[in-house]
Amino acid sequence: MSKLLTKLLKAPWAVIGVTLAITVLFFWVMKDNTRMETNLDEYMPKNHPAFIYSDKAEEIFKIKDGIIIAVENQDGIFNTETLDTLKQLTKALQKMEQINKNDVTSLYTADNIVGSEGGLDVRRFYKRVPKSKEKLDALRQNVLSNEMIFGKLVSENEKVAVVIAEIEDGVFSQEFYYEILDLAKRFETDKIKMHVAGRPIIEGELALLGPEDMKRMVPIVILVIALVLFFILRSVKSTLLTLGVVFFSTIWAFGLMALLGIPIYSVSTMIPVMLIAIGVAYSVHLYNHLQLFINKNPEATKREAVEDMIKAMWNPVMIAAVTTAVGFVSLLTSQVYPIKYFGLFTAFGVAVAWILSVIFIPAGIMAFGLPKRREVKETSKNDNSFLHRFAVKVLRNKKLTIIITSAIVILSIIGMQKIWINSSFLDKFEKDSDIVKTDKFINENFGGTTTLNLILDAGENPDAFKSPELLSLTDEMQKKVVHDLKVVGNSFSLADFIDRMNMVMNADDERFNKIPNSRDMIAQYLLLYEMSGDPEDLNKVVNYDYTKLNVMFQLKSDNSKAINSALDILKTYEDDFKKHGVTMNYAGSGYKGLVFTDLILEGQVMSLILSLFIVIILLSLMFKNIKAGLLGSVPIIITALISFGVMGFLNIPLNTTTALLSSIAIGIGIDYAVHFIEQYRKYAKSTNHNMLLTAKKTMAHSGRAIIYNAIVVIAGFLVLLFSVFPPNRELGALVSLNMFTSFAGTLTILLVLLNITKMYSKKDKE
């Protein structure tokens, strides 16, 4: 392959022209076909059993994510102005084409179950907005006495009421998002404030901030990388050619995504930063070798210099690129779509960066000339260069190096025990952002913005959930979860309907606010409700033949700790329900988010094992020595342990973003070991297997390039600290730490292990 590349040197302008043409083509495709994925359900695998069941349950009970608009009046909501605002807002939402009229719930549309002379009456709280004090007081009393409404649609401090608009899948768009925000804003006055929240709003905010974050980050990372490259390469031409490589590879990656119809997920916005930071590494190694060659051979022509660069660096650069791509390709083991596609297209971008590095860079040098000759000391007559002295010190303190490394590994393993997984999509935003503040406000005043649906299934036993025993058990379970967990604000099921009907049919006596002991009485209540009220209301809590029950829990947090705490209590009732032939299953966005995090962890473990295995095999094949493969993997294994240990100690959770860490650590960090072992092997021959001299020469050649490489990559990833998304900032800091530990481990523990194991000594078979 290196011979083919040297032939291309005869037509450098053709290479440059073809590269630019392909880039323009991909840019054109990207510009017209790129779209941002706003539906968080699309982040999840459709063929997973949990999601299949959840989707079926959502269809049966019409479980939909809702847009929540909280109407706040510090003077209280029971006044004509606020009640009219609730009414007008509700009607405005009902008129929107994306929303079904019957899927808007508020105090204006809610039904009040009351007793009457005829038995049971179900009526609206108000149709016309009450104006007199007497009517306002009567409405207030009706709300406060109905626990199905008070605390659920009206806050307990009586200052906030909510309007919930459920939407169908696939109707939410960026335009609809803006329309909702504008609608809420139109109803604001000096006294009335609007707060908009709900999962669709989170999706809309992600879709808005994701591209904006990418647009902001790319120029910053290009500027930072350009400055660092110029500092290292000391050449405008070399810097521009290198930037061209990473810029083109980014365009190609996003162009291919657009061509295949793959949308941009929130995590995809980091691909440009990744490719720009990673792609420069190959050019740094190429230019490092080129400088050393022209220093030794000042009379060499540019063709001779470029041919030597390709011949010497083809192997290590290729293996470095392949191992990096493997790290990202291993993410295909994940069932989480954003991570899967992130890995695939980042790997493609890495491959493009490698190909362009060994084609476009040489063509650029042939077209625009060699960089200026700079004095770079590969050897030193007095053995006084810093890298020489560093190599000597490391080898003289081998035991200390091993002890320190072992201590760090043990400490990291302790820290790993503290890692937790975070399913929260809301935690992607700043704590002081409007969307987080709004969510917090609604959670403080109501049951919570996150819903967990428990589906009780009695199989083929019709009318099972007219049983007083089953409904009483359900009622008991609901009350226990709400009582025991502060994070669970409310629960709702068929049991709440029966409790309310039993009480109002017994003169509103609070002692009857419970499930009656008679199945016939329950059946009678349900018949009365179907005759007096809206049967659609019951369809959301029980199916038509009463074999399935939907029990809803409102949580004040969407992270996995909160959801798991509720599940822990619910699971204690499994045996009790099993005695009645009822199984417990789960559905809804809250539960799917929890399963989502489990898949992240599963994918993380699989990708880590797979990438390590493949990297060891590749290194062993490249160096024709299994021992070299095993030794080369040591620095990246240590790096992975350290990064997870730091995550544990700093309470940084695993999520869709930080789950990328291990593959990035392996994919990028292995480059250092590849270049170091390759040069170590070469110098072992040229120094007649003098191990100390081999170490010093390797350190001066690859050690120098590895340090430069690490500086560039660390600088590139530190740019993520400017991201608007906290998980991106965490990843940027952690990857930068990874790069530091990878290059430090390569120059210390790998050197020590190569020396101790006598790799490439006279006795070692090459």
CA distance 279 to 353: 5
Residues 269-284 pLDDT 10s: 888 888 887 888 888 8
Residue 596 pLDDT: 78
CA distance 600 to 594: 10
State the SS3 of 449-476: CEEEEEEEECCCCCCHHHCHHHHHHHHH
Task: State both tokens at 56.
Answer: 């079926």
CA nearest neighbour of 125 among 142, 102, 104: 142
* Residue 764 pLDDT grade (very low, low, confident, very high; cuts 50, 70, 90): low
CA distance 244 to 279: 10
Q: Could you tell me the CA-to-CA distances from 605 to 281, 640, 662 in Å, in that order?
A: 27, 12, 9
Judge whether residue 584 has pLDDT over 90: yes
Q: Which residues pair with 429 in a beta bridge?
A: none
Average pLDDT, integer, range 384-408: 89
Domains and CATH numbers, the chain: 380-417+624-766 (1.20.1640.10), 439-588 (no CATH)
* Residue 29 pLDDT grade (very low, low, confident, very high; cuts 50, 70, 90): very high
Of 31-45, 75-89, 441-455, highest mean pLDDT: 75-89
CA distance 433 to 724: 10
Of 262-266, 278-282, 511-515, highest mean pLDDT: 511-515
- Burial class for 430, CB neighbours closer than 10 Å (0-12, 13-18, 19+): middle
* Residue 569 pLDDT grade (very low, low, confident, very high; cuts 50, 70, 90): very high
Residue 571 pLDDT: 95
Judge whether residue 13 has pLDDT over 80: yes
Q: Could you tell me the CA-to-CA distances from 679 to 72, 125, 316, 354, 683 in Å, in that order?
A: 69, 81, 9, 19, 6
Of 184-193, 380-389, 672-681, highest mean pLDDT: 184-193
Residue 194 pLDDT: 96
CA distance 600 to 421: 8
Residue 221 pLDDT: 85
Residue 40 pLDDT: 66
Judge whether residue 407 has pLDDT over 90: yes
Q: Could you tell me the CA-to-CA distances from 225 to 247, 268, 353, 742 in Å, in that order?
A: 12, 20, 15, 20
Judge whether residue 462 has pLDDT over 90: yes
Residue 1 pLDDT: 52
DSSP structure class, residue 92 = H
Average pLDDT, integer, range 634-652: 91
Residue 35 pLDDT: 79
End-to-end CA distance of the chain: 23
Residue 618 pLDDT: 84
CA nearest neighbour of 674 among 620, 752, 712, 611: 620
The average confidence (pLDDT) of the chain is 87
Q: Could you tell me the CA-to-CA distances from 619 to 89, 285, 389, 605 in Å, in that order?
A: 65, 18, 28, 21
Judge whether residue 392 has pLDDT over 50: yes
CA distance 441 to 156: 13
Residue 162 pLDDT: 96
Judge whether residue 521 has pLDDT over 90: yes
Average pLDDT, integer, range 623-649: 90
Q: Could you tell me the CA-to-CA distances from 585 to 37, 50, 431, 551, 596 in Å, in that order?
A: 29, 9, 33, 10, 16
Cα angle, residue 548 at apex, residues 547 and 550 outer, rounded to 5°: 155
Q: b/e map of 286-305 (b: 16 or more CB within 10 Å)?
A: bbbbbbbbbeeeeeeebeeb
DSSP structure class, residue 39 = -
By percentage, how much of the chain surpasses pLDDT 90? Answer: 44
CA distance 402 to 414: 19
Contact 418, 652 (CB under 8 A): no
Residue 38 pLDDT: 66
Name the one residue in this structure whose structure tokens are 């081999």: 694
Kindly state the greatest CA–CA separation across the chain. 110
Angle between helices 236-259 and 12-33 (to 10 degrees): 40
Average pLDDT, integer, range 70-95: 96
Residue 4 pLDDT: 64
CA distance 637 to 639: 5
If you count DSSP H runs as helices and E runs as strands, how many of each does the chain have, helices first? 27, 10
Contact 377, 385 (CB under 8 A): yes
* Pairing state between β 119-124 and 583-587: unpaired
* Residue 5 pLDDT grade (very low, low, confident, very high; cuts 50, 70, 90): low
Name the one residue in this structure whose structure tokens are 């083991």: 333
* Cβ neighbours for 41, distance < 8 A, ≥ 6 positions apart: 169, 589, 592
Q: How many CB atoms lie within 10 A of CB 375?
A: 6
Residue 381 pLDDT: 44
| Phi, psi for 402 (deg, rounded to 5) | -65, -40
* Cβ neighbours for 403, distance < 8 A, ≥ 6 positions apart: none
CA distance 655 to 118: 56
Residue 374 pLDDT: 64
User: Which residue has better confidence, 370 or 77?
Assistant: 77
Average pLDDT, integer, range 460-466: 93
Residues 354-384 pLDDT 10s: 999 989 999 999 999 888 776 554 444 444 4
Long-range CB contacts for residues 472-476, cutoff 8 Å, separation at least 24: 472/514, 472/515, 473/573, 473/576, 473/577, 473/580, 474/549, 474/551, 475/499, 475/514, 475/515
- Helix (H) or strand (E) run with residue 548 in it: strand 548-555
Residue 386 pLDDT: 82
Residue 334 pLDDT: 80
* Cβ neighbours for 570, distance < 8 A, ≥ 6 positions apart: 454, 477, 481, 584
Q: Which residues pair with 104 in a beta bridge?
A: 165
CA distance 663 to 657: 12
CA distance 593 to 169: 16
Residue 43 pLDDT: 73
* Residue 165 pLDDT grade (very low, low, confident, very high; cuts 50, 70, 90): very high
Q: b/e map of 149-186 (b: 16 or more CB within 10 Å)?
A: bbbbbbbeebbbbbbbbbbeeeebeeebbeebbebbee
CA nearest neighbour of 698 among 755, 766, 738, 765: 755
Q: How many CB atoms lie within 10 A of CB 46?
A: 10
Residue 97 pLDDT: 87
* Residue 118 pLDDT grade (very low, low, confident, very high; cuts 50, 70, 90): low
Average pLDDT, integer, range 689-716: 85
